[in-house]
Amino acid sequence: MSRRARPPARAPRAGAGGPTPLLRAARVGDAAAIAAVMRASIRGLAASAYPPDAIAAWASLPALYHAWAMTAGGEACVVAERSGRVVGYAARRGREVTAVFVTPGRARQGLGTALLSRVERDAARAGARSLFVRAALGAVPFYAAAGYRGARRVRVPLPGGAAIAAVSMRKTLR
């Protein structure tokens, strides 16, 4: 069986107006857009779960970090693009889901689920039998709905010595 490049996948329709987002492998050139999506998502969706200093530290990761993560850091990233603009992304490093973020205007419309499903399929193709995530408190219901289980509280370090509370969760892949 030959290894051919997989065509970009279409995500489920995520809201009215405009074309359906396209899911594709991220490129290093997407790092600035990925950083912007992460910042907007953290500030817009997670702000109520954590104190302002934790939000500021969490949202401070620059584009350079994301470029490093996609290269030397070993993260596999997928972006959701709509009309040429990145509106969400997901990433994994080995068997860990390290990120699923969408812009606040695209939240709760199926885009995060489509991104996570793509990461899971890619991990399964790479031989992973399970994945784990350290889910931010507000994201626990999202991961639970996707089949992740767990309740052990953990602390995730952030830049500048801050940390956020999270829940360690795991999912067995098919």
pLDDT, position 135: 97
43-68: average pLDDT:
88
Tokens found for residue 171: 């999912």
Q: Please say whether the dihedral angle defined by the alpha carbons of residues 114, 118, 123 and 129, taken in this order, is positive or negative.
A: positive
pLDDT band at 174 (very low <50, low <70, confident <90, very high): confident
> How high is the pLDDT of residue 46?
67
* Strands 96-102 and 85-93, bridge-based pairing: antiparallel
Tell me if 31 sits within 8 A of 63, measured CB to CB: yes
Average pLDDT over residues 96-120: 94
Phi then psi for residue 28, to 5 deg, are -55, -35
Q: Are 29 and 86 within 8 A, CB to CB?
A: no
Q: Residue 21: pLDDT band by 50, 70, 90 thresholds?
A: confident
HSE on the CB side for 97, CA within 13 Å?
A: 35
Fold of 20-128: Aminopeptidase (3.40.630)
The full DSSP string for 67-132 is HHHHTTT--EEEEEEETTEEEEEEEEETTEEEEEEE-GGGTTTTHHHHHHHHHHHHHHHTT-SEEE
Which of residues 46 and 5 earns the better pLDDT score?
Answer: 46
pTM of the predicted model as reported, rounded to 2 decimal places: 0.86
Tens-place pLDDT, residues 123-172: 999 999 999 999 999 999 999 999 999 999 999 998 888 899 999 999 99
